[in-house]
Amino acid sequence: MSNALTRTDFNFPGQKSVYHGKVRDVYNISDDYLVMVVSDRISAFDVVLPKGIPYKGQVLNQIASKFLDATADIVPNWKIASPDPNVTVGHRCEPYKVEMVIRGYLTGHAWREYRSGKRLLCGVPLPDGMVENQKFSQPIITPTTKADEGHDEDISREEIIAKGLVSREEYEILEDYTRKLFERGTKMAAEKGLILVDTKYEFGNKEGKIYLIDEIHTPDSSRYFYADGYQERLARGEQQKQLSKEFVRQWLIENGFQGKEGQQVPEMSDEFVQSVTERYIELFENITGDRFERSDLSQLHKRIEENVLDFLKSK
C-alpha cells in the first residue's frame, strides 16, 4: 500500500505557487498554466482519510480527461494535455466561487435533506411523496458555495446573484452549460448500461471566456447507478447498485464516522484499501468502456516529474 501517491512537492520551471487540495495538488506555472497532479488521497465528509488508494489518482485523471475531450464541443475546457497518467496540464482560469451540482435522482445529500422534512433545496421546490433514488421529472440544479476550508454550503440561484458571486448573465450561461453537460454525460452513461445520477461541474474565467475546469463525470464528482435492475430495486425499496464513492461514505457511517467533531476515522486495513482500489478500477472500466492499464508505481514521483518536465520543455 506504500505506493499510493499521498503527497507531492515538486518544483517545476516557472512555478509560482502550489495548492494542495483534498485530492489534487495544483502547480501554477508562470500564471499561465496549471499542472494538476491527481493524488491517491481519498476524502469523505470533507475529511482526507489517513491512507491513500493506489491507482485512484490515475482512475480519476483518466476518466476526467476522457470526458473533457468528449464534451469540448459543448463548452471550452481548461485541458491542454495529459502528459502522465496522474497529471493534466491546462489553462489557468479564475474559478467561480460556486459548484454547479445537478441531480437527476433523489439520493445522497438531497435524500437526507428530503427525509428530514425539507421540501426546498437550494431554492428548488421538491414534490411530496417521493422515495429514495426516485427520478426527478426534470434534473434540478442545486449549487453549493466553493469553500476554501471546511464544508461547502447549499445556496440558491438568487442568493448567488444577490451576493455577487456570479452575475445573472454569467450564471444563466453556467446553468445552460450544466444542463447540456449532464445531458451528454447521461447519454454516454446509458450507452454503458449506467445511469448518471448526479454530478457537479466547476467553471472558471480566462480573459472574459468561460471554461469548464477541474474534473468531470468521475466517481469523486458523480454518482452512477447500474441501469439493469434499477426499477425493480426502486419498487422493492432496496438500495441501488452503484458506482461512486458512496460505498466509502457508507462504510464510514457504519463504523461511526460522519466527519463530526469528536469522531475518529475507523482503521483502514490493507484489505479494505485494496478493495477500494479494485472498486475504482471496476468503476473506470464500466464508465469508460476501456480496459484499465495499471501504470508503473515503482518510482511514481520521478515518473510524474519527468513527464511534466518533458511537456513543459515542449511549450
Distance CA 86, CA 90 (A): 14
Confidence (pLDDT) at 1? 47
Phi, psi of 9 (to 5 degrees): -150, 60
Residue 179 has which C-alpha cell? Answer: 444542463
Predicted pLDDT at 246: 79
Q: What is the dihedral of CA 183, 222, 209, 20, to 10 degrees?
A: -170
One pLDDT digit (tens) per residue for the chain, 315 residues:
468 999 999 999 999 999 999 999 999 999 999 999 999 999 998 899 999 999 999 999 999 999 999 999 999 999 999 999 999 999 999 999 999 999 999 999 999 999 999 999 999 999 999 999 999 999 999 999 976 655 679 999 999 999 999 999 999 999 999 999 999 999 999 999 999 999 999 999 999 999 999 999 998 899 999 999 999 999 999 999 988 787 898 899 999 999 999 999 999 999 999 999 999 999 899 999 999 999 999 999 999 999 999 999 998
| 309 vs 161: CA distance, rounded Å | 41
Q: Where are the domains of the chain?
A: 15-93+271-314, 95-243
CB neighbourhood size of 259 (10 A)? 14
Dihedral Cα 295, 301, 306, 307, nearest 10 deg: 40
Are both 15-93+271-314 and 95-243 of the same fold?
no
pTM of the model: 0.90
Cα–Cα distance measured from residue 302 to residue 306, given in angstroms and rounded to the nearest whole number: 6
Please tell me the predicted confidence (pLDDT) of residue 220: 83
CATH number of 95-243: 3.30.470.20
> Could you give the angle at which helices 56-70 and 168-191 cross, rounded to 10 degrees?
110
In one-letter notation, the amino acid at residue 170 is E
DSSP states along 196-226: EEEEEEEEEEETTEEEEES--S-TTTEEEEE
pLDDT the model gives residue 2 = 64
Q: What pLDDT sits at residue 247? A: 84
- The closest alpha carbon to 60, from 247, 242, 283, belongs to 283
Whether 194 contacts 224, CB under 8 Å = yes
Q: List, in order, residues 6 or more apart from 149 with CB less than 8 Å away.
A: none
Q: CA-to-CA distance for 105 and 134, rounded, in angstroms?
A: 5
Neighbours of 204 (CB within 10 A): 20
CB–CB of 311/81 below 8 Å? yes
Burial class (CB in 10 A: 0-12, 13-18, 19+), 283: buried
Long-range contacts of the stretch 228-231 (C-beta < 8 A, 24+):
228/193, 230/195
Cell numbers for 97 = 466561487
CA–CA distance, 61 with 59 (Å, rounded to integer): 6
- Which cell numbers in the block locate residue 301? 514521483
Element (H, E) at 296: none
Question: Which class would CATH give 15-93+271-314?
Answer: alpha beta
Among residues 1, 20, 2, 23, the alpha carbon closest in space to that of 10 is found at 20
